[in-house]
Amino acid sequence: MKQKILRLNQDEAGDWVAELSCGHARHVRHRPPWQNYRWISNAEGRASMIGGKLKCGLCSQGMDKPVKSKDRT
Ligand SMILES: [Zn+2]
C-alpha cells in the first residue's frame, strides 16, 4: 500500500524517517539490494520525494486504521 510522504525527519542515529499520510512513520534507508532508496542520501532527492508515494509496510500488514465501509441497506 502506497502512502504520500508528508515530511522527512532524521532520528538520533541519523537515519531518515518518513512521515506518511496514513499516520505511520517508517525508516527510509538505502540498503541495496533489499532497500533501494538512493534518493534519501541527498537533499535534492529528499525534496523531490516530499509529496511522493512510499510503500507503507505497516499498512500492508493490516495495521492501518479501520476502513470506512460503504454498506448499502
Ligand atoms: Zn501506513
Ligand 1 centre distance from Cα of residue 73 (Å) = 30
Q: Which pLDDT does position 70 carry in this prediction?
A: 56
Residue with the larger pLDDT of the pair 63 and 51: 51
Q: Is residue 12 part of a domain?
A: yes
Q: How far apart are CA 52 and CA 67, in angstroms?
A: 22
Q: Which domain range does residue 10 map to? A: 2-60
Q: Is residue 54 part of a domain?
A: yes
Looking at the structure of the chain, the number of domains it has is 1
AA identity, residue 27: H
26 with 20: CB under 8 angstroms? yes
Residue 18's CATH number: 2.40.50
Q: pTM for this structure?
A: 0.78
- Partner residues linked to 35 by β-bridges: 31
Numbers of helices and strands, H then E, in the chain: 2, 4
Give the model confidence (pLDDT) of 27-46 as tens digits.
999 999 988 999 999 999 99
Q: Which pLDDT does position 1 carry in this prediction?
A: 85
Residues with CB under 5 A from ligand 1 (ion): 22, 24, 56, 58-59
